[in-house]
Chains A and B, each alone.
Chain A
Amino acid sequence: MGKILEINGPLVKLDLPQTVLGEQVRVGRLGLVGEVISRDGNTALAQLYEDTAGLCPGEEAEGLGWPLSVELGPGLLGGIFDGVQRPLQAMWEQSGDRIARGVAVASLPRGRRWHFAPDPRCHAGMPLVGGEVLGTVQETESIQHRILVPPRVQGELLELAPEGEHTVEDVIGRVRLADGRIEKLHLFHRWPVRTPRPFRQRDHAVAPLITGQRILDTFYPLLKGGKAAIPGPFGAGKTMLQHQVARWCNAQIVIYVGCGERGNELTDVLESMPTLTDPHTGRPLMERTLLVANTSNMPVVAREASIYVGITLAEYFRDQGYDVVMVADSTSRWAEALREVAGRLGQMPVEEGYPAYLGSRLAAFYERAGRVETLAGDHGSVTLIGAVSPPGGDFSEPVTSHTKEIIQTFWALSKELADARHYPAVDWLESFSGYVSSAAKWWADNIDPGWEASRAAALDLLAASEELQRIVNLVGVEALSSEQRWTLEAASLIKEGLLQQAATDEIDSFASPEKQFALLTALLDIYRQGMKLVKLGAPARRLIQMPLLAQARRWKSQHNSDDLEALKVKIAAIPAAFEPLLLEYTPAAPSSAVEAIQP
């Protein structure tokens, strides 16, 4: 038993000999929980997950003997947990609207019974290794929870419970370990959050994560098992974009970590997810979703922990063979929590007050993403999408610049686009993706071999229009040639008819890869048909007046992803729309006339 020596914000100095770094401690009359972050002789410094007001020097403190861990088992999905995995719903029922301090609630419901079905391959006497599947629990209609042997357990299976109802704490099996000790197995196990869960080996990521967002999927793809960042100033639509990804992506499990963000946003997710259906399975989205929430008014140390809690939960579902997406909003708040604690420890600040280890912590965190071969021999993935909130929208600040070096897909949000209410405000010039060639293979195999070339053509067009726009800003649009004006118009058609996507529009909110590709090629087709005419001498002015351009801008919100036939009819009619002009500008004797108009 130790005692408190000093209290300084969330940091508490303890007289606690023989404690281990990272160990959980419980201090004071209120029983506040925290973790040891440094030792000096008999004194230890602990950071507490809860507000320290009211603690007195001299009050008792004790080490709990284990590091910060999470409970992994049935009962996670559809839930909302705080930064140290306390179930917020249960806490609300138990202690009211406000989060009281020192409340201890088990992460997984203890009383609930689950229908456990043992794996037919498991039998007494067989050798067991960590990570193997003991059996299954149908946790929700769409997700089968696979009960895993804790990764560090290895030995002989002595017995396994038959099919039946069990609580998470019931003993469902026994294993004799190599040293002869008997280990009891339950429906759940604990895992320390700061230790990555083991796997056999890393696999290549192969399939793109389909988010239904055209600017993401078509232009800056992310792979299942990849790492992406969404940086953007406030109001640029980071949260909306992340919600869209969480709603529509084709992962099997989505873990949404609200780290230092607004309480109402989490409420929005909590209230809207149960009413939305997964476009891939037709089941309510909440069945595959799990929330970890440390809102900005909740204690800062738990904010630092929340990111690790989230990623450990993600790894656990990955180990069951699922494709998991973890969305972290926002990693900047996590970095600020690091900075706050570092500042109180008196550590030397490097850039903007951040400690020197910011870059390495960020890198180690993002490395927990990936597609792997699990210990059981399955394949699973964790895709990590981190929002970054750069102060003043300045991408050169430490968190954004470090993150940019680590991730492969960069969805840069722009204030200018957001101000014009062009959503998603993903800047097509600043963003990048290192996964284009891998994604191209998937698109070629599954959608169309022309994807990569079309994507490149559209990006070229956008880049060219950016150049032209600069000229226009100086001398006006009248100074451009017809060809240049048509390029500008076609780029604006791509921006409004393809890149812009209304999250609130029922039809436009999600676009299947087929729909994305159909729109992309259709708009490019309009551009090419028009360009052909301009080359024949048609003035851009007349092309721009074509009703087709206004119509094409509305296609995205007129046709659902499963109603592509009607869209294809309209696309097939594109050449006909150009027909009158083509007749007018095609000279009677084509061969000589074409030569004549060429300079």
Chain B
Amino acid sequence: MKNIEFRTAASAQGGLVVMAGVPGVAAGSRVQLRDHAGRVRSGLVIRSANDAVLVEVFEGTDALDLERTWVRFLEEPYKLPVSRDMLGRVFNGSGRPCDGRPPVISADRRDINGEPLNPAARAYPREFIQTGISAIDGMNSLTRGQKLPIFSGGGLPHNRVAAQIVRQAKLLGEEAAEFVVVFAAFGASHADARFFQESFEESGVLNKVVMFLNLADEPVIERLLTPRAALTAAEYLAFDLDYHVLVVMTDMTAYAEALREVAVLRGDVPARKGYPGYLYSDLAEIYERAGRIKNRRGSITMIPVLSMPSDDITHPIPDLTGYITEGQIVLGRELSNQGVYPPVTVLPSLSRLMKDGIGKNFTREDHPHVASQLFASYAKALEVRGLAAIIGAEELSDADRRTLAFADAFERRFINQGEDEDRSIHETLNLAWDLLSMLPPESLIRVSEEELAKYHKGTT
């Protein structure tokens, strides 16, 4: 079967081809199409019956002449050759090298769909990763093996934040050199891809990065493969070669849109905003590949970047992502416009695994309470700020004015920091206490009395 070329394409439309009279084709099998110009495209069987086989073509069906298209069914799923030599290389969206260097030679080829990890085999992520960014380390800490997306919007500096995390991320008492990076871009602009490439180059990690690039002007359907190929590489590096892998993927919105495009062509019943009902499961297949495994040294920590359409966090893509990932870092336009970098809106941001990776033995014993107190005090301060906007700051009580000053200082000094500023967790926590000391101790009920006595600098 592998060597037979069929010329029975019956219809084609927007990336899908129906093949007639090909009995017994395996579902999910990889397909090779040769068109009249001799160009080879690849695809996947998404529906198989004896009388008709539906094929999804990654490079699209443009300029395809049905009578002059030859199709081979390769009888195996889509596979990626994996090897240590992937490090430092650049691949296209379907995992073929595109840096002008020879293909990766490896006898080990892995199904890019992977297999679900047995929950009993997972090890719970507990190791605090210091990113050097106060808003993340102090209040939304990242742990090794976590999946923590950045929710952003058009024009916000999510790429710069992601690049800064890649540059600075390290375990306490360990060098950043332990990390390797798998970077996948789908639907990203050439400028974005170049930005990352240069950023990796500058920090001298380029030979520790595997890049998978499907840029904005490249085939849309190929985007369905890109994250899977990237994660297959990441799994190999983490669980076969014991690396700690940081996976950065951008932009998940482009991925979901590609999925919708194909779903509409297939005639799937739309659920919300035209996205198919299986968007959740599909995203989960990608995100859940992050994690740690018992008795294995390596880990996959994932930072997907997604832009929220019209900054709407309830849009299906950020919404479903938030239900799968272990928290989210939300970037806000308002802070960004005020010149705050990184513009992390801390209130809707969250790290679910933080509670088990911080505090005594991990960071510092006061960390959990300080984080909680910062959230509470800042939430309160925003209320006061809203009030001040209505009745005028002159009408506020003294206590409210101090609260307002706290909010400003919190944004200017705690959240705001330089793009090259790498704050240790102790610096972050000390800074937090500097700010909390602007508030009267009796209003700080989330921290214990002992912690107040030890760290609070102000007088009532």
Contacts and interface: CB of A to CB of B under 8 A. Distances in A.
Interface of A: 5-9, 13, 51-58, 80, 88-89, 91-92, 96-101, 233-235, 239, 258, 260, 262-264, 266-268, 270-271, 293, 295-300, 333, 336, 339-340, 342-344, 346, 349, 352-353, 389, 391-394, 415, 418-422, 472-478, 496, 502, 504, 547, 550, 553-554
A389 to B, nearest CB: 6
30 contacts: A6-B49, A53-B27, A55-B26, A55-B27, A56-B24, A56-B26, A58-B23, A58-B50, A97-B117, A97-B293, A99-B117, A239-B352, A260-B281, A262-B326, A263-B117, A264-B124, A264-B125, A264-B146, A267-B124, A296-B280, A297-B281, A297-B284, A299-B116, A339-B277, A344-B268, A391-B316, A392-B319, A419-B375, A421-B446, A496-B445
Contacts of B38: none
Interface string B293-322: 100100000000000000001111001101
A266 B119 contact: yes
Which of A8, A234, A342 has the most CB atoms of chain B within a 10 A radius of its CB?
A234
Contact of B121 (A92, A349, A352, A554): A92
A54 B26 contact: yes
B283 to A, nearest CB: 8
A101 B114 CA distance: 12
Contacts of B372: 421, 502
B268 A343 contact: yes
B120 A57 contact: no
A353 B119 contact: no
Nearest to B449: A554
Nearest to A234: B322
A295 B288 contact: yes
Nearest to B293: A97
Given A299-B116, A392-B319, 18 more contacts: A6-B47, A6-B50, A52-B28, A55-B27, A55-B48, A91-B120, A234-B322, A264-B326, A266-B119, A296-B280, A391-B272, A419-B375, A421-B375, A473-B390, A474-B390, A476-B395, A477-B387, A550-B443
Contacts of A266: 119, 122
A297 B124 contact: no
Contacts of A264: 122, 124-125, 145-146, 291, 326, 353
A472 B387 contact: yes
B378 to A, nearest CB: 9
A57 B24 contact: yes
A54 B124 contact: no
Interface of B: 23-29, 47-50, 77, 113-125, 145-146, 239, 268-272, 276-278, 280-281, 284-285, 287-289, 291, 293, 296, 313-316, 319-320, 322-324, 326-328, 347-348, 350, 352-353, 355-356, 368, 372, 375-376, 379-380, 386-387, 390-391, 395-397, 442-443, 445-446, 449
A267 B122 contact: yes
Contacts of A54: 26-29, 77
Contact of A235 (B285, B322, B396): B322
A64 B47 CA distance: 26
Closest 9 CB pairs of A and B: A392-B314, A53-B28, A296-B284, A6-B49, A343-B269, A420-B379, A297-B288, A234-B322, A353-B271
A340 B278 CA distance: 6
Contacts of A297: 116-117, 281, 284-285, 287-289
A57 B269 contact: no
B47 A263 contact: no
A293 B119 CA distance: 8
A263 B119 contact: yes
Contacts of B26: 53-56
Contacts of A88: 118-120
